[in-house]
Structure 1
Amino acid sequence: MKKVLILGGSFFQVPAIQKVVELGYYVILCDLLKDVPGKQYAHEFYQVSTSDKKSILKLAQSLQIDGILCYGADSGAQTAAFVAEKMGLPTYPLEAVEVLTNKELFRKFQRRHKFNTPKAKGYSRYAEVKEEVDQFRLPLMIKPVDSSGSRGISIVRSVLQLEEKVNIALSHSKVKRFIVEEYIENYGPHVGGEGFVVNGELVFRCFSNEQFSTSQKNPFISVIASWPYMMPQKLHLKIHNEIQRLITLLNLTTGALNFDIRIDENENVYLIEVAPRNGGACNCKIIQYNTGIDLIEYTIKASLGEDCSDLKQVEPTGYWSDYVIVSQQPGKFREIKIDEHFSKKHLVEYELLVNPGQDIDFPEESYEILGTMVLRFSSMEEMLKKMKNIHNWVKVNVETRNKLTYRNLL
């Protein structure tokens, strides 16, 4: 039985663990936390940090694994590539993974190869950027160079906010470094979605329309993704070609990609982030609903060096949305109230991740969520209209100061 080492056992990584078991392989799970949801599905568990390259390598060698992957998170992506290279296992090149998981390195790479990219520069201290801030055009994005899941990301609309936001970014950076970059206004929706590379070619991609929780403490948490991507086909192809150019330059071989992309008013494509992994939330699940393609299975096959050449482009059918439920009000969670008619007509899957009586707060990171929903609609018009007003049908019941209040979720 082939052994697959999976780095990370959070809720969003459980589908990959379950799929490995379903395919008949032996699952070894590593996570810094000992009581992660994925632990119950693994054959073996080791409490090791997924970013500890040397410890993971030593463990992998002792267990004689056949493949390694980090699903749905950047935290262990470099470790997976490092271990795979050392053991001669299938992987994206470590150098490429390092570029894709470090925002400063990625911007430098983009400039060097003449990709569209916002003006950006990396710093280690507030004093450094303070001296140069007048060289940038407001608003600015402040980001830790090595964070994922929207951790530590802020927008600065006034230089008076700069020091505070820099300190937030530094607090979320392991290497204590951040980038400052000019904000790119969207033409149309923010582009998310998934792709898959086989032998250096982007053979499959499925773009989504992303919507962020603008009223939250962290307004860069994606709370709604919908399919299919609503912009003209020429933009689908333009985005595809830019991603393919990136793949070729980085010598990416076979594996998954997750997209974070913006299009400006002149239809220029900005690859904000291209992660060397599958996305979290319900991306892969909904893509399987609307295309029939099981990206998780292909990711596992790629990690084991199995043939993925049968994967081809399939256009999505139907109108689907992923809704990540967050709270707009801190307090004690009571329930999520879903309109009965809305539920019967549109709800395909629903998973609650908190218990009644549990303390909740404004989310600062993408995994601080209350639940997820998979929704289906009869048309693009219906989907966009209803998702824009989702708070009319889905509400969080929170107890604050001995009162029960219903709050909308965006």
Structure 2
Amino acid sequence: MEAVNMVAGDGPQSILLLGGSKHQVPAIEAAKRLGYRTVLCDYLPDNPGQYVADVFYQESTVDKELMLRIARSENVLGVLAFGTDVAASTAAYIAEHMGLPTNPLASVEILSEKQLFRTFLSDNGFPCPAFQELSIDATALDVVDTAKTMRLPIVLKPTDSSGSKGVTILRSLDQLKIEGALAEAKAFSRNGTLLLEEYIESGFPRVIGGDVFVVDQQVVFWGIMSCLRDQQLGGLVPVGERWPSGLDEAQLASVHDCIQALVSKLGIRFGELNVEIIIAEDGTPYFLELAARAGGNMIPNQLSDIAGIDLVEANVRFAMGDTMDVAFDGASASGCYATYMLHAKTDGVFTGLDLSSAIRPHVYRQVLYSEEGSRVAAFDNASKAIGVLFLRFDDEEQMMAMFDTIDKHVVLSIE
């Protein structure tokens, strides 16, 4: 696609990208492909994005004032926190101060911290489970006291993490289990606030996930899928997404209405949003999350394949004040698609991947994050994925039959 970002006599326009992890490299590549000068910030010294970007600062993206100074010194005309909750509010902060394209900072902050999100849902009439905030200093006895007014099971989680990091379902008030859950939640908390909320019993077999894209406060791209989970690992961490979602027309319409209503209430102007919803036993959609960023686990790439629209490029263009046609209602898609996150069930050394002859014809892309011979950890959050398989099937029956026995078709050697 022809680049449209040159300023006569001034050279290419600059975009600030917050985060250079393996999941974020496609956004840097897309920006360069469009002709933008890419300025990257990431606090990790070994992030892969630094080898792709034109300019790199090894600095923390949660330091809003520092990021703003860098943005001004580099004279950027757009800022993008692709696929990261951590820097989403930083991006909005910079853009508001510099008069660049952005969603309202207050709304991004609501979507970035779960206690703010739950309060917003409750105050504005959206379905919301009972919840209580807890300090990071809370003890097991504090949890027990708080839970006395709530219905079991309950969920304990940090309020500013993603990818199911630090999340535990408590089906009893056993003190040892609570202490373990507190340790997990505290380990992934940056803001010092934890959340205790009632668990929503699902009336649909899978959590609804995927991404949507907003243009002029209207959802125009509907990438509603459903999440695949490994029950052997507790069933909390997504190990992939499937398309179509499996929802019937009434359920899908209800999900659409709920998402659009929330987008409108928050005043979201543009961009890709990651969504997770549970359909309760009575059919009510409950938001687990609406995140002010593109989804992880390469969801934008998966949806780009399904829709024939480059969502990664769209994120870059809209951040720079440009536009492109991203309208997609799902009706034009053919076939069934799924991703499968390659993951270890135990800590060890990754020594190989074996795909069965039955699944191999359905794999149209394979991305490995870890090389053979490298150490890997048991998959208890999305950051520990070894890689991802992209698969296509002729129909839903074929797809679900394959995933019912996925461990027979995808075998990772961990020693």
* TM-score by shorter chain over 0.5: yes
Does structure 1 residue 213 correspond to structure 2 residue 230?
yes
CA distance in 2, matches of 1:41, 1:132: 48
Counterpart residue type for residue 152 of structure 2 = L
User: Aligned with 1:355: secondary structure?
Assistant: coil
Cα distance in structure 2, aligned partners of 1:137 and 1:385: 36
Amino acid at match of 1:37: P
- Are positions 1:197 and 2:211 aligned together? no
Task: Report the secondary structure of 2:382's partner residue.
Answer: coil
Q: How does 1:284-363 map to 2 (within 5 A)?
A: 284-308=300-324, 310-315=325-330, 316-343=333-360, 345-363=361-379
Letter in 1 for 2:326: L
2:131 aligned with 1:117: no
The residue aligned with 1:254 is 270
**Offset of residue 48 of structure 1:** 0.7
Does residue 38 of structure 2 align to residue 15 of structure 1? Answer: no
Aligned partner of 2:159 among 142, 145, 157: 145
Matched, 1:108 2:119: yes
Task: Give the C-alpha shift of residue 363 in structure 1.
Answer: 2.4
- The alignment status of 1:58 with 2:72, answered yes or no, reads no
- Does structure 2 conserve the Cα–Cα contact (< 8 Å) formed by 1:242 and 1:269? yes
Is the contact made by 1:17 and 1:41 (CA closer than 8 Å) also made in structure 2?
A: yes
Once the two structures are TM-superposed, the CA of residue 35 in structure 1 deviates from its matched residue by 1.6
Name the structure 2 match of 1:396. Answer: 412
SS at match of 2:359: helix
| Correspondence for 1:263 among 266, 270, 279 | 279
Q: 2:383 maps to what in 1?
A: 367
Q: Where do 5+ consecutive residues of structure 1 fail to align?
A: 400-410
Q: Is 1:291–1:317's contact at 8 Å kept on the other side of the alignment?
A: no
1:101 touches 1:275 (CA, 8 Å); kept in 2? yes
Q: Secondary structure in 2 aligned to 1:109?
A: helix
Q: Return the alpha-carbon distance in structure 1 between the equivalents of residues 380 and 223 of structure 2.
A: 27
**Please, which moves more after superposition, 61-70 or 161-170?**
161-170
Per the alignment, residue 149 of structure 2 pairs with: 135
TM-superposed deviation, 1:304: 0.9
Q: Give distance in 1, aligned partners of 2:187 and 2:226.
A: 30
Which amino acid in 2 is paired with 1:311?
A: V
Q: Deviations over 1:254-300 (max 9, x none)?
A: 11111111101211010110001111122111212211121111111
SS at match of 1:150: coil
Q: Secondary structure of the residue that 1:220 maps to in structure 2?
A: coil
Letter in 1 for 2:59: V
For 2:125, give the aligned amino acid: K
Give me the whole-angstrom Cα distance separating, in 1, the residues matched to 2:155 and 2:318.
Answer: 35
| In structure 2, distance between residues paired with 1:381 and 1:137 | 37
Give the CA deviation at 1:388.
Answer: 2.0
| Whole-angstrom distance in 2 between the partners of 1:93 and 1:281 | 26
- Displacement of 1:351 after TM fit? 1.4
- 1:212 Cα offset (Å): 1.8
CA offset at residue 219 of structure 1?
Answer: 4.2
Who is 2:9 aligned against? none
Aligned residues: 396
Give me the whole-angstrom Cα distance separating, in 2, the residues matched to 1:253 and 1:339.
45
Aligned with 1:367: secondary structure? helix
Contact 2:220 2:329 (8 Å CA) reproduced: no
Residue 91 of structure 1 deviates from its aligned partner by 0.6
What is the rounded CA distance, in whole Å, between the counterparts of 1:281 and 1:317 in structure 2?
22
Q: Check the 8 A contact 2:61/2:67 in 1, yes or no.
A: yes
Letter in 2 for 1:136: M
Report the counterpart of residue 376 of structure 1 in structure 2: 392
- Of all paired residues, the percent bearing the same amino acid is 33
Determine the C-alpha separation between the residues in 2 that align with 1:287 and 1:205.
9
Q: State the TM-score, normalizing by the size of structure 1.
A: 0.94
Write the distance in 1 (CA, Å) between the matches of 2:213 and 2:348: 41
Are the equivalent residues in 2 in contact too, given 1:282–1:374 (CA < 8 A)? Answer: no
1-side partners of 2:312 and 2:254: how far apart?
26
Q: More deviation in 319-328 or 147-156?
A: 147-156
List per-residue Cα deviations over 1:122-163 (Å, max 9, x = no partner): 111134333221111111111101112221111111111223
Instruction: State the 1:213 CA deviation.
Output: 2.4
Contact 1:31 1:46 in 2 (8 A): yes
Q: Distance in 2 between matches of 1:313 and 1:361?
A: 37
Would the aligned equivalents of 2:307 and 2:328 in 1 still touch at CA under 8 Å?
A: no
- 1:407 matched residue in structure 2: none
Amino acid in the other structure paired with 1:39? Q
Local SS of the residue matching 2:295: coil
Point out where structure 2 has 5 or more consecutive residues left out of the alignment: 1-11
